[in-house]
Chains A and B, each alone.
Chain A
């Protein structure tokens, strides 16, 4: 095999596309075929709910690579290619494409929502480029949008829609928005910020019933009995990993395709990376981290493993969200924290929320504080106890805190 190994990658988003280029970077002679079931060139997903839906950028401006980059790198990119079947015995895709190693980067699909009485054309999701472009078109004749789900997608979309002059109701089933990911202080801050700009929230509620009106709009009734009229419902309540192909090929799955630390599935010639993979992160076992950074990191590890290169150890997981003029960056995973510390001014929209476990910072949410975010990444990676009163004191710089904390280890 050696340098002439043939690698096929199913899925050309952040994980798949990065894996293709990484493989070529390690061994230029390696054969790489990148399959996408979409019709457009691979693109950045984060702008879908922000700059792209608002029309601030065009689809071509959010491409992961320029159109000529694939040819120049010697990657065979096949668009509109849908994989029906993996034949593991003959290492064959759809009975026509051979592979030595196969990488599944099939991503995920929106978790479906069921609203009794609501016809499917009134309920849409946002996951792919085509979803955003279709939504954008519909928004031309839409006044009021109901968003189901107060996670990042829902909130980013709420901000975008308000900025486009739309009326927005956001329905969240949990007791607060961002319930699974941030502390109550951060959730409250975001809810207030959205409310001041006109978003109407129905918290701890669900849409129980929809009735189609003669003019084409829908009347919705919430679980608390609030009734309102809407043009369109957009649901964003999380995603489910796309494991259909893997299951059909009898690979082991459990909340994603099960893989080892190199991304290998139960068949060692097949890897899985990105949102579709249940990857055993050394610090967060059992957690399927859905993020661009995680997708790119897994792509890097798998590409290095296939080409037998060394790879960098794991970076701290990090995430970001942009809403209105707010840029929140999150470092680390806050699961299991036993205390939170606020630093900065919540009322001015410039603050960080630190998550501690046994006095050690394990995660941080930084709102309009890019420097504190970078500093937090260092602080968390370094470990060591930090007194809460020091962390909350903005007159002590993060540099001093990192130094003191390092000495106390």
Chain B
């Protein structure tokens, strides 16, 4: 599968190969992507792996669990197309999506 495109907090675009991680947060942390901290290690507690997508890309992802939804409701700068990267398994991310780090 093709790499995952992620635009970091300072606007730089990174193409990350889908390897060495199970979810998008881990993948971004491994590549030192600015703005993705993943403090809680992926247990959906801290919301320090906040990413945004276009409406079209957002709809191509699997639905949110209620915990993720509840956190995102109050996360600063959250949008209707926000997600937490720790909840996105790499195997569930379709080709061609662009993620923007929101911090």
The residues of A with any CB-CB pair to B shorter than 8 Å are 21, 24-25, 44, 46-47, 62, 64-69, 72-73, 292-293, 296, 318, 320, 322, 327, 329, 369-371, 373-375, 377-378, 398-399
Within 8 A of A (CB), among B1-52: 20-21, 26, 29-32, 34, 37, 39-41, 43-47
Please classify the interface of chain B as helix (H, G, I), strand (E, B), loop, or mixed, using the class held by over half of its residues: loop
Contacts of B46 in A (CB 8 A): 293, 318, 320
Q: Is the CB of A68 within 8 A of B20?
A: yes
Contact of A371 among B37, B43, B70 (CB under 8 A): B70
B30 / chain A contacts, CB cutoff of 8 Å: 65-66, 68-69
Contact A296 B37 (CB under 8 A): yes
Counting chain B CB atoms within 10 Å of each CB, which of A47, A68, A370, A373 scores highest? A370
Closest to B44 in A: A370
Q: Do B41 and A46 touch (CB < 8 A)?
A: yes
Cα-based distance from A298 to B2 in the complex (angstroms): 37
Chain B, Cβ-Cβ closest to A47: B41
Which residues of chain B are near A67, meaning CB under 8 Å? 20
Q: On chain B, which size bracket covers the interface?
A: 20 to 34
- B29 touching A370, Cβ below 8 Å: no
- B53 close to A (CB within 8 Å): no
Q: Which residue of A lies closest to B47 (CB)?
A: A374
For B26, the chain A residues whose CB sits under 8 A away are 66
* CB <8 Å contact, A370 and B67: yes
Task: List chain B residues, Cβ under 8 A from A292.
Answer: 39-40
Partner of A375, one of B20, B69, B74: B74
Could you jot down 26 A-B contacts, CB within 8 Å?
A21-B32, A62-B41, A66-B20, A66-B21, A66-B30, A68-B20, A68-B30, A69-B31, A72-B31, A293-B46, A296-B39, A320-B43, A320-B45, A322-B43, A327-B43, A327-B67, A329-B45, A369-B70, A370-B67, A370-B70, A370-B71, A371-B73, A374-B47, A374-B75, A377-B74, A378-B74
- 10 further A-B contacts with Cβ under 8 Å, apart from A72-B32, A373-B71, are A46-B40, A47-B41, A64-B29, A69-B29, A69-B32, A318-B46, A320-B43, A320-B45, A320-B46, A374-B47
Contact across chains for A24 and B41 when beta carbons are under 8 A apart: no
- Collect the chain A residues with CB atoms within 8 Å of residue B74's CB: 371, 374-375, 377-378, 398
Q: How far is the CA of A296 from the CA of B39 in the complex (A)?
A: 7
Complex interface: chain B residues within 8 A of A318 (CB)? 46
Q: Which chain B residue has the least Cβ–Cβ distance from A75? A: B32
CB-CB under 8 A from B29, the residues of chain A are 64-65, 69
Q: Are B34 and A25 in contact (CB under 8 A)?
A: yes
B71 touches A371 (CB 8 A): yes
Known contacts A292-B39, A292-B40, A320-B40: A24-B70 contact under CB 8 Å: no
Minimum distance in angstroms from B10 CB to a CB of chain A: 10
Give Cα distance in the complex from A68 to B16, angstroms. 14
Beta-carbon nearest neighbor of A319 in chain B: B45
- Alpha-carbon gap, A378 to B77, bound state (A): 12
Residues of B within 8 A of A320 (CB): 40, 43, 45-46
Q: How distant is the Cα of A24 from the Cα of B21 in the complex, in angstroms?
A: 21
Give min CB distance, B71 to chain A, whole Å: 5
* B-side contacts of A377, CB under 8 Å: 74
**A296 contacts across to B, CB distance below 8 A:** 37, 39
Q: Which residues of A contact B73 (CB under 8 A)?
A: 371, 374-375, 399
